[in-house]
Structure 1
Amino acid sequence: VFTQIDVDKFTIHPAIMGTLQVFKLTPGKNAGEVEIEEMNDTLEHILAKALGIDAVKLIPCGGGDPIAAAREQWNDGSNTLAVAPGKICVYQRNNVTNDVLYKEGMELLVVPSAELSRGRGGPRCMSMPFWREDL
């Protein structure tokens, strides 16, 4: 329901805005151990802290309109694929969200999606590998 699209920008479905309970998992001091840190904060603050930057910008699917957000999230409006900072693949049918992203300065690679989006899973889901090699 949210995707990083630039160094400090994310698409987001408005339903997850507000205070969240998040658990940060990191390797423990000994092999096989896991350190768990509970964070209760807004997504903006959690993301900024994780990225080591002052602030992030959340761009809502549907441009802040609750009806457009619900309709366009059904068509994966906030499930985009960043191919470079500020350059993202989006589904064509999400007109409101795409217009907002364009006005935010994003370069959009628009994918025709009349039937494609019916299968559920947006550009990011369909291209996210389970395992990545270190480059």
Structure 2
Amino acid sequence: MVLNNHIMAIGLSQRTSAAAIEDISKSLFAAGQYDTVIAVKIPHNHAMMHLDTVFTMINYDQFTIHPGILDSNGKIDTWTLTPGKSDDQIQIRHEDDLQKVLKLELELSELDLIPTGNGDPIVAGREQWNDGSNTLAIAPGIVVTYDRNYVSNELLREHGLKVLEIKSGELSRGRGGPRCMSCPIVREDIC
């Protein structure tokens, strides 16, 4: 997930290993494309294989997050990778406070993590199954979501976002939310 023009986030999951993230980071650093990669450990289960199914950037300082990826204290393991002294080395810093890491790396004083299903364990689980966290930001603060995630969609509106709902009766059966249905690979600098 491209967070800005020099920071990328990658999910550490059953599909992406720590070694793969290190290799990707070395390649990105050597190419001069990025200077920071944030690896976020997500649970190893079929419903949460990709980072954007449980965590998505939707504005400069706002993210959707499925509360099921956090432990009982609201923590999650992250590793911040930066270039080392030579091209084949990287520095790795471990943290367990995602909000702290994002604020530091994105140079933000405030950060809004918006929980799927308003954090209710039953609603969050149901709406995450229907890709409630998998929102597609088409501009800062403007997102495309599935209409069936009514609790999450209302919460997004309460947080000041413009929500464009699409009918999801058939799309959601294919497993994948609006962001999964697209392929965002570049985040244009709009500052």
Q: Same fold by TM-score, threshold 0.5 exceeded?
A: yes
Q: Does 1:34 align with 2:34?
A: no
One of 97, 102, 110 as aligned partner of 1:55: 110
Residue of structure 2 in register with 1:19 after alignment: 75
Q: Does 1:45 align with 2:100?
A: yes
* Bigger shift: residues 10-19 or 67-76: 10-19
Higher strand proportion: 1
Deviations 1:104-128 (A, max 9, x none): 1111121111110111121112213
**1:80/1:124 contact within 8 Å kept:** yes
Structure 1: runs of 5+ lacking an equivalent: none
What value does the CA root-mean-square deviation take over the aligned residues? 1.9
Sequence identity (%): 51
Where in structure 1 do 4 or more consecutive aligned residues deviate above 3 Å? 131-135
Give the Cα separation in 2 of the matches to 1:63 and 1:14.
Answer: 9
TM-score (norm 1): 0.88
Q: Does 1:100 align with 2:155?
A: yes
Residue of structure 2 in register with 1:85 after alignment: 140
Structure 2: runs of 5+ lacking an equivalent: 1-53
Give the Cα separation in 2 of the matches to 1:76 and 1:134.
Answer: 25
Deviations 1:8-38 (A, max 9, x none): 1111111123122211112222122222121
**2:78/2:98 contact within 8 Å kept:** no
Structure 1 letter corresponding to 2:86: N
**2:143/2:162 contact within 8 Å kept:** yes
**2:65/2:116 contact within 8 Å kept:** yes
TM-score (norm 2): 0.64
* Bigger shift: residues 120-129 or 76-85: 120-129
What is the Cα deviation at residue 133 of structure 1?
9.3
Higher relative contact order (CA 8 A, sep 6+): 1
Q: How many residues align?
A: 133
